[in-house]
Amino acid sequence: MKKNKKRLQSNKSKLDKNCDSHDVGVSRVTDQNEESLIGKQVSDAETTISLKRDLEDDSDIEDQPKQKKKKKKLKTEALNTDNKGKKSIRQMKREKHAQRQMATEALAKDTLKQQNIQYLLQWKHNKSHWKFMKARQIWLFKNKFSVNLISDDIWPTLLNYFQSAQGNVKNMLLKDANEVIRAMDTWAEMQNSEVNEHPEESTEQNIKKPDDISYKRARDIIQNIEE
């Protein structure tokens, strides 16, 4: 009986120890599980924070080029405003070339004018060395009404030259002179008529008054050549 009691007591104590050890193990397991859950939550939170930081960093990286583009755009706009009104090198070269070309053409025209005037003066003062040149006569005929090319001092000499001209030149001179006279007469009639009260009607006829020098020279041609 005593042996049985001892065995029972020993078994009971073993059971208690096993229970205690089991409880301790269970508690340890639960503690470990709780720690693992907490650690997982912490790691998840850290991961979320890191992702947010990465996203913010990426957004900053994406925004940086845009800012640079804006800066570049502002710089180009500033340069455009600075260069506005300034001529480019190519444009300046073109203008200089055009100016040189105009100067060359003006010099050529002046040289041609002097040659034709000299031809006319040689006809008057040195006929023994004078030689007829058709190109010179055509130039004098075309510019007979221009006071800039044929001055008033030269006009009497040119009129005498036309009087001695041969061929169809005299007929052509009379034709041009009569056209100037008719244009002046028509203009004068329009000024004195009732049509002047309706300007829209007179402008349709394109009536233009000849200048006084052309009119005077036209009268000189008619008076001298028709005689």
pLDDT value at residue 25:
46
Q: What is the per-residue pLDDT for 86? A: 72
Q: What is the pLDDT of residue 96?
A: 85
92 — pLDDT class (breaks 50, 70, 90): confident
Percent with pLDDT over 70 in the chain: 56
Q: Provide φ and ψ at 214, rounded to 5°.
A: -60, -40
Amino acid at 144: K
- Count of C-beta atoms within a 10 Å radius of residue 187: 15
- Structure-token match 């233009």, residue found: 208
Domain boundaries, the chain: 131-225
DSSP state of 205: T
Q: Which residue has the higher pLDDT, 225 or 144?
A: 144
Least reliable range by pLDDT among 83-87, 122-126, 183-187, 195-199? 195-199
- pTM recorded for the entire structure: 0.56
Give one word for 206, left, alpha or beta, with left for phi > 0 and alpha for psi -120 to 50. left
Residue range 120-159, pLDDT digits in tens: 999 999 999 999 999 999 999 999 999 999 999 999 999 9
Looking at residue 44, its pLDDT comes to: 58
- 134 CB-near residues (< 8 Å, 6+ apart): none
Average pLDDT on 157-169 reads 92
Asked if the model's pLDDT at residue 213 lies above 80, the reply is yes
Give me the pLDDT at residue 6, please.
Answer: 56
Query: What is the separation of C-alpha 147 from the centre of its chain, rounded to a whole number of angstroms?
Result: 39
